[in-house]
Structure 1
């Protein structure tokens, strides 16, 4: 029997732990609703699309009182971070790091799919945001986010590819 964790992780606590690390990110964002409102067709200009590189730091948060799946602290390096706290019943809450739990700004639902991807769903102010996170390799993570208006029409979408920073082994090891 091996001590190597399953890949991709098969339960939410293991998935959250697997997310911990420092990630180099390339994110492409598409403002679909804005392009449509401006009368642009794809290829008529790039105001509706942007790409940026960044560094993302993800820290695993141990479960409160020793039970539950735990949580994540997520954000760009040297910037304010958000905390996501997951419960075993498929719910999660999110707020700025360091704020009390009762000051949580967002609440949503999570689902770990059989393909090993984690989907987060938020309903807020007549909009729905769905984010899916999955690993293709232990050190390569992909994320897609789609925001829809209340009538179901797309507003924004993004796609990120993230590579985990790994340290080199010490010389002579």
Structure 2
């Protein structure tokens, strides 16, 4: 299936859906997104184990040598950079810290990210997938070294599109 996507100059680009490779997947991520995020802290008290909030993020893509770089900026100005290496390596720069891990594009067209958390051996697993070209879902789980889940997050994001100009 070929889908039309908004681009910066207001014209529509066409891209295959679902994305078949990393470049197509990252290209599909580009744009402004409205999101609803839910966070579940499994070690939290009975009163504060869950939070939800709305937000907006802008995603851009650039290439450097063999790497693809996804830059994500939230409405409050917080920025992060995800560097996807062609060998499956991943480097995430956020809040002055750098974390490394791996990425994998799965057969179901979802992108799976695995990152180590700080000096601990805890791991964060994130899965990102598209239901439609303008509807993206993300789930994230933080897991302790013994396999115990520590935190879970779920996010649904809708691409912000402008009305066609006449």
* Mapped contact 1:118–1:133 kept (Cα < 8 A): yes
Q: Which stretch of structure 1 is more off in the superposition, 73-82 or 112-121?
A: 73-82
Alignment partner, residue 59 of structure 1: 60
**What's the C-alpha RMSD, in Å, of the aligned pairs?**
1.8
Alignment partner, residue 40 of structure 2: 30
* Mapped contact 1:34–1:155 kept (Cα < 8 A): no
Cα deviation for residue 46 of structure 1 reads 4.0
* Mapped contact 1:33–1:154 kept (Cα < 8 A): no
* Mapped contact 1:24–1:164 kept (Cα < 8 A): yes
TM-superposition CA deviations, 1:40-63 (whole Å, max 9, x none): xxxxx44101110000111112x2
Q: Which stretch of structure 1 is more off in the superposition, 52-61 or 88-97?
A: 88-97
Is 1:72 the counterpart of 2:85? The answer is no
Alignment partner, residue 128 of structure 1: 123
Q: As a proportion of its length, which structure holds more helix?
A: 1
TM-score (normalised: structure 1): 0.82
2-structure distance, mates of 1:33, 1:120: 23
Is 1:113 the counterpart of 2:123? The answer is no
Is 1:162 the counterpart of 2:160? The answer is no
Gaps of 5+ in 2: 3-12
Q: As a proportion of its length, which structure holds more strand?
A: 2
Tell which structure's C-alpha radius of gyration is larger.
1
How many pairs align? 153
Is 1:92 the counterpart of 2:100? The answer is no
1-structure distance, mates of 2:151, 2:94: 22
TM-score (normalised: structure 2): 0.85
